[in-house]
Structure 1
Amino acid sequence: ADGKVVGYIMPRIEWGFSNLRQLPVLVRKGHVVSIAVLEEYRRRGIATALLNASMQSMKNDYKAEEVYLEVRVSNDPAIALYEKLGFSKVKVLKAYYADGEDAYLMARPL
């Protein structure tokens, strides 16, 4: 878009308990702290490309075993995208957001 920033992703690598395994196991994991695409640029594959590139780097460059994120329970388009990319809902985080809305913690193996 002529050099215009239309989206971003803020990933990080953490060491902590697995969000996917039954037993409490410490793993290296990726965390998508934040991701956004300007409304007029949505549904063009930008978020998918950002997520796929980040997940590839998490796995190949940082040896992460899994990735997780939080999403508003009301954000159906984002939830559908994450599910399409292999994420599943792990649990509900009550009143996660400042306005009191719950979040789903979603995760997938890398």
Structure 2
Amino acid sequence: MATLTYVYADSTAVLGPLATYAEPHCYDLCAEHSERLTAPRGWEVVRLAMDPTTTRPSGDDLEALADAVREAARTPSPPEPPPGPPVPRGGTGDPVEVARRGHLRILRSPEP
């Protein structure tokens, strides 16, 4: 596994050890994809040597996993309140709003 970091201004892609935190323009790659990585024509690819002993899980990895599980188990935010009563629109021949969910509306054709 490796992290790909790139800088457009320098036309450079760097492939190195997994990053410990997220940054813009960084992507984690599996071993297969990090080995097959190519860059656009004119770009330079810098491959940093990776220490094979660091690829094994550490205590920090276990703690990060436990924190992620705790975060996922937290109570979700309260649901949106139910939509209000239908809001009639305009005059004769205009559709009538029946319900609303977020930015979407359900309209009913007017009665003939």
Answer 1 or 2: higher relative contact order, Cα 8 Å, separation at least 6: 1
Is TM-score (shorter-chain normalized) higher than 0.5?
no
TM-score scaled by length of structure 2 = 0.19
TM-score scaled by length of structure 1 = 0.20
